[in-house]
Structure formats: structure tokens, C-alpha cells
């Protein structure tokens, strides 16, 4: 493979990963808007997640400011689904008010991801205890979450 082809290949994968990160953030914004308004704590949470994924401030703000109708994107891999749901639950809890519309949104996401909605309640408990603290705990949680998979 030539250097040019290798660079082109890397560019494609980088583009795909950027697209995944933006879709992840768009899913979170859709939840934030589910109750009719976005609270300042939710905006901060969205910016924190966006920065965690290496998105630029302008990219994050463009997603927040967009009024386009957005089709929810479901990750293909199970661990990515769990990560998406975990961030969605974090988004739901960011303003410390769990709205019924937000909970419905989370449960709909579970349904679209072929995951039992009981996982959301487990994630809420984890957030109430302070969240996942390290990578090893996260791996254990993802493994334990497999029992909620619908197949």
C-alpha cells in the first residue's frame, strides 16, 4: 500500500470516528431537548462530553444550536451502546431533575438498541453513587450489562 493510500485510509477511519462522536453528542442533545428546554447544567454536561470526545467548541455549539430534525443513531457494538446509554443517563440527571419525557427517551433508546430498559435504572443507581470511577470498573459494568441485552 502506498503512503498516499494509507493516508487516505486513515482519513476515512478518522472521518467515521468523528461522525460517531458527533452522532453520540446529537443523541444527547435530543434527550436534553426532550423536556422542552436545555438547562445550563445540561449545556455544561454536553460540552464536557464533547470535549471528552475531542470535539472543538464550535462543533459542539453547532450541534447545540441546530434545529434540524435528527434521527437517533444506534451504535453497532454493545460496549458503544452501553457507553451511549450511560452518557444519556448522565445527561438526564445533569439538571438533577428526572423528567418523565427524558426517562421515556432513555427507554426508547434501550428499545432501539435491543437492551432491556431495566439497565437505565441500574445506571441511575450508579450515577447516584458517584458514577463509574475507573476503566476497570467500567469494563466490569459493561460485562455485567450484557444480561440486559435482548437477542
Which has the closest alpha carbon to 120: 86, 94, 97? 86
Write out pLDDT tens, residues 44-95.
Answer: 988 998 898 888 999 989 988 887 776 677 888 999 899 989 988 988 888 7
Buried b (16+ CB within 10 A) or exposed e, 11-46: eeeeeeeeebbbbbbbbbbbbbbbbeebeeebbebb
What is the rounded distance in angstroms from the CA atom of residue 126 to the CA atom of residue 76? 24
What is the topology classification, in CATH, of domain 3-148? TerB-like (1.10.3680)
Look at 99 and 35; give whichever has higher pLDDT. Answer: 99
User: Distance (Å, rounded) from C-alpha 141 to C-alpha 135?
Assistant: 10
pLDDT band, very low/low/confident/very high, at 16 (cuts 50, 70, 90): low
Whether this prediction's pTM lies above 0.75 is answered by no
The pLDDT mean for the chain works out to: 83
Would you kindly state where each structural domain of the chain is located, as residue ranges? 3-148
10 Å Cβ neighbour count for 126?
17
Residue 122 has pLDDT above 90, yes or no: yes
Closest CA to 84 of 58, 106, 69, 51: 106
Check residue 141 and give its pLDDT.
94
Contacts of 122 (CB under 8 A, 6+ apart): 145, 148
Q: Across the strands, what pairs with 149?
A: 115
* Residue 13, pLDDT score: 55
Do 91 and 28 touch, CB atoms closer than 8 A?
yes
| Residues whose CB is less than 8 angstroms from the CB of residue 101 and which lie 6 or more positions away in sequence, other chains included | 34, 35, 36
Cβ count near 117 (within 10 Å): 16
| pLDDT at 2 > cutoff 60 | no
In which band, very low, low, confident or very high, does the pLDDT at 14 lie, cut at 50, 70 and 90? Answer: low
Does residue 25 carry a pLDDT above 70?
A: yes
Amino acid at each position: 500500500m502506498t503512503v498516499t493510500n494509507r493516508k487516505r485510509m486513515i482519513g476515512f477511519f478518522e472521518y467515521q470516528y468523528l461522525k460517531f462522536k458527533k452522532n453520540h453528542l446529537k443523541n444527547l442533545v435530543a434527550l436534553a431537548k426532550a423536556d422542552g428546554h436545555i438547562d445550563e447544567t445540561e449545556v455544561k454536561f454536553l460540552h464536557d462530553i464533547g470535549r471528552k470526545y475531542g470535539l472543538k467548541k464550535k462543533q459542539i455549539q453547532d450541534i447545540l444550536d441546530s434545529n434540524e430534525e435528527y434521527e437517533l443513531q444506534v451504535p453497532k457494538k454493545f460496549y458503544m451502546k452501553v457507553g451511549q446509554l450511560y452518557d444519556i443517563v448522565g445527561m438526564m440527571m445533569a439538571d438533577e431533575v428526572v423528567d418523565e419525557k427524558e426517562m421515556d427517551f432513555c427507554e426508547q433508546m434501550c428499545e432501539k438498541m435491543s437492551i432491556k430498559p431495566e439497565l437505565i435504572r441500574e445506571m441511575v443507581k450508579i450515577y447516584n453513587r458517584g458514577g463509574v470511577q475507573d476503566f476497570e470498573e467500567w469494563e466490569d459494568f459493561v460485562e455485567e450489562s450484557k444480561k440486559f441485552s435482548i437477542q
